[in-house]
Amino acid sequence: MAEVNYQKLVPTYFEQVIQLANTVHGDGYLTNESIADWVNRGIHAGINCGYVALLNQQVIGFRITFSANNWPIDQWCSPKLWLVPSEKCCYFKCNTVDQKYRGLGVGKKLLKLSIEAAKQQGATAGIAHLWKQSPNNSAVAYFTHCGGKLVKSHPDKWNEASKHGYNCILCGHDCHCEAAEMIIRF
């Protein structure tokens, strides 16, 4: 296998990222509008926290991370349990790897690159909501292996999004999947 190349997530890769995201997570997960917004939320002080993994110029994985103070702390967040000031926490929005390339360290490398960028922006921790219904709960297992600690579980995290266009690959347009709110302290 050729060597995987890691690059900043920029508009050149948007089309491939959208296609991979919607294949893995379900139609409507990512759109032209949402990817532009999400990537912009990860840029602060000229530093971009988003990355793609490329194999022969084909996107095989990506990481989208929102900069600290550039994401909403909503009802699915438990800042009192983080033990880190919320203004120092970035948000690990999405890490996706093509099924053919899972288990090769691509997701872990994307996360490490994103953490380094977030640290340069001033973050001291990162929050994520992991999909507990991923095959064999692999999302939570991967994040735990990378140093993530469980904060709280949130049933029906993506239910509202599923009623507004997101088509969960397990539940359809009435998603009842559970999210594990997790933190990695840097």
Left (φ > 0), alpha (ψ -120 to 50) or beta: where does 56 sit?
left
How much is the pLDDT for 158? 67
Walk along the chain (186 residues) in steps of 10 and give the mean pLDDT of each run. 92 98 89 97 98 97 98 95 97 94 93 98 96 79 94 83 77 82 97
How much is the pLDDT for 113? 98
Name the 3-class secondary structure at 125: strand
Q: In the 8-state DSSP scheme, what is residue 137?
A: G
Q: Which residue, among 138, 181, 125, has the nearest Cα to 157 in the 3D structure?
A: 181
pTM above 0.95, yes or no: no
How much is the pLDDT for 178? 79
80 φ/ψ angles, rounded to the nearest 5 degrees: -70, -20
Name the 3-class secondary structure at 50: coil
